[in-house]
Structure formats: structure tokens, C-alpha cells
């Protein structure tokens, strides 16, 4: 099976257009069509339905796509490793970044790493924790950064993966300045339960921590809404939609930080990889330099 034909198939499946795929691959449209036709002939199955100008995967195409992505990723990894042999650290480093990983904490780490290894092409993929772990298990990413609470672990559902906590993120409770809680000298868990919050999505590390905190105090959290990232959380809290949790590392003068003695909300960010996948020099360099970058 020709890897070029598979890559053409992946592009068409992603772009849903032969013309846009041809532009992306820097080929002519007939060349892309020829590669798809060759693949369909080899598999004796039609991979795409052409309806007007739209292109849709057939049932056979849906079956092929996950394997095609995995094969393409593995070929890219092999090429990267071989090209880097005997040379400076280079090639591609693919990192999944799950929701609620603070970009304020991650940005300086990536900046320092890029300065140390300028030949590395860093490919960040922002995905949900579960999706990033599935990608790691399938060998589609070098590593992922995901959030883990004390009451949860990626290993319960992805036992073959290896992970290590790389930092703990402390959270502050914030509200808009006009919120009733902003007028209180100190705020308890019972006070929080009286007002709706802009909450993380269920099953996320932060939400599990909050839920455990509420259960321990025999109260129930009231969601005004559930969001999947810190920028949206900050925006919704700033317009008075409810109290919210934000990392201490993310400053914001538009919000009032509540004084909450005894209320500890935190979670860990773990670096997770698949031990069955060989580490490229770029990936190993990232792991080796993390302790120094986090000091």
C-alpha cells in the first residue's frame, strides 16, 4: 500500500474536497484523483461518494481512516528519527494539550524548549483529555499534557500508558466586582453553594475536585453553565454569570479574587506517553529538560 496514496486519502477525508486537498499536497487535482483511484482499486472498495461538489467517506472509507492516520503518523516518526541520527535534535514533536492546562504555565516552557532546540517542529494539538489519551494509546502523539485530580487517574481507563505529574496548579475563586460574594471579607464553601458558578465540564479534574469539596461539606454546587476552557470561564465570570475557578498563574484585574480560607482547589498536570512507542530525540529532550524548565 503506497504511503502517498494513503496521505492523499487522509487529506481528502479531512478537507472533503479534491481541489483543496490538491492545494494542501501541492499536487494537481487529477494527480490526487489518480492516487485515490489507485487506493480504491487496491482495496476493491469505493472510499468516497461524490455528491455535487461535496465529498463524503463511504463505509469503507470510515473503516480505513483510523488505520491510515496511524500509519501516516508512524511513517513520519520513523523519518524524523532517522533524519535526526547523528545530528542535532530536530524533527517533529507532537504534543496533545488537554482542556484546563494553563497556557500561561505552558507558554514559557515551550518558549525555553524552542530556544534550546530550534530545529524541532512543535505540533500542538488542543484536544479533550479523553481524546488525547486515545491518541497516545493509538500512537498518534508523542505525548500529552492532561489534567488529573486526586480522585481520578488516566490509568484507570488507559492502563498501558505511563504518566508522571509535572506540576500542581493551584486555583483561585473569582467573581465579578458587582457579585454579592465580592462584598464578603471571607467566603466559605456554604457561601459558594448559595450562588451558581461558571463550572468546568463534568468528569474534568477540576470539576471532580469541586464536587468532592462540596460533598465533604454536605452542600451541592449550582452550575450557571459548564465550559471547557479558562478563557471562556474568565469571560463568563467577568460579565457576572457566576463565581469561577482560575489558576493562580493567570492574572486578571477585571475579576475579584475571593478570600476563601480553608478552601483548597487544585489539580495536577501530568505528562503521559505510550511506553510501546519509541521516543524520538525531540521527545526525549523535552522530557529531560522539563525539570529545569519548571524550577
- Which residue ranges make up each domain of the chain? 3-78, 90-162+269-294, 168-268
Please tell me the predicted confidence (pLDDT) of residue 176: 93
C-alpha to C-alpha distance for 208 and 269, rounded to whole angstroms: 14
- What is the assigned CATH class of domain 90-162+269-294? alpha beta
> What architecture (CATH level 2) is domain 3-78?
Orthogonal Bundle (1.10)
Alpha carbon of residue 223 to chain centroid: 24
**Could you tell me which residue, 280 or 244, shows the higher pLDDT?**
244
Q: Which three cell numbers stand for residue 289?
A: 529538560
Q: Are 240 and 234 in contact (CB under 8 A)?
A: no
**Do the domains spanning 3-78 and 168-268 agree at the CATH topology level?**
no
HSE, CB side, 13 Å, CA atoms: give it for residue 110. Answer: 16
Q: Which CATH superfamily is domain 168-268 in?
A: Periplasmic binding protein-like II (3.40.190.10)
Dihedral sign computed on CA atoms, order 89, 120, 277, 291: positive
Question: Residue 151 — pLDDT band, cuts 50, 70, 90?
Answer: very low
* pLDDT tens-digit readout, 256-277: 999 998 788 888 888 888 887 7
Query: What's the pTM?
Result: 0.61
DSSP string, 218-268: T---EEEEEESSHHHHHHHHHTTS-EEEEETTS--TTSEEP--TT---EEE
b (16+ CB within 10 A) / e for 157-171: ebeebbbeebbebeb
* Phi (first) and psi of residue 135, to 5 degrees: -65, -40
**Could you tell me which residue, 73 or 40, shows the higher pLDDT?**
40
Amino acid at each position: 500500500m503506497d504511503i502517498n496514496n494513503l496521505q492523499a486519502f487522509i487529506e481528502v477525508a479531512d478537507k472533503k474536497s479534491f481541489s483543496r486537498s490538491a492545494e494542501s499536497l501541492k499536487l494537481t487535482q487529477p494527480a490526487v484523483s489518480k492516487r485515490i483511484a489507485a487506493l480504491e482499486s487496491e482495496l476493491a472498495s469505493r472510499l468516497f461518494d461524490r455528491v455535487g461538489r461535496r465529498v463524503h467517506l463511504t463505509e469503507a472509507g470510515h473503516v480505513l481512516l483510523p488505520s491510515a492516520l496511524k500509519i501516516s503518523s508512524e511513517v513520519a516518526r520513523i523519518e524524523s528519527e532517522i533524519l535526526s541520527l547523528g545530528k542535532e535534535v530536530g524533527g517533529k514533536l507532537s504534543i496533545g494539550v488537554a482542556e484546563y492546562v494553563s497556557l500561561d504555565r505552558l507558554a514559557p516552557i515551550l518558549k525555553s524548549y524552542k530556544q534550546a532546540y530550534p530545529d524541532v517542529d512543535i505540533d500542538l494539538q488542543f484536544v479533550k483529555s479523553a481524546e488525547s489519551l486515545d491518541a497516545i494509546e493509538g500512537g498518534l502523539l508523542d505525548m500529552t499534557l492532561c489534567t488529573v485530580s486526586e480522585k481520578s487517574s488516566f490509568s484507570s481507563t488507559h492502563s498501558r500508558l505511563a504518566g508522571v505529574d509535572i506540576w500542581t496548579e493551584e486555583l483561585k475563586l473569582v467573581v465579578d466586582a458587582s457579585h454579592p460574594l465580592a462584598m464578603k471579607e471571607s467566603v466559605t464553601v456554604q457561601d459558594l453553594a448559595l450562588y451558581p458558578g461558571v463550572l468546568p465540564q463534568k468528569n474534568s479534574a477540576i470539576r471532580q475536585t469541586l464536587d468532592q469539596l462540596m460533598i465533604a461539606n454536605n452542600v451541592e454546587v449550582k452550575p450557571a453553565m459548564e465550559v471547557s476552557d479558562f478563557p471562556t470561564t474568565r469571560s463568563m465570570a467577568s460579565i457576572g454569570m457566576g463565581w469561577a475557578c482560575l489558576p493562580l498563574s493567570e492574572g486578571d484585574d477585571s475579576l475579584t479574587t475571593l478570600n476563601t480560607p480553608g478552601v483548597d482547589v487544585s489539580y495536577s498536570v501530568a505528562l503521559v506517553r505510550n511506553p510501546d512507542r519509541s521516543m524520538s530525540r525531540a521527545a526525549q529532550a523535552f522530557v529531560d529538560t522539563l525539570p529545569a524548565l519548571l524550577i
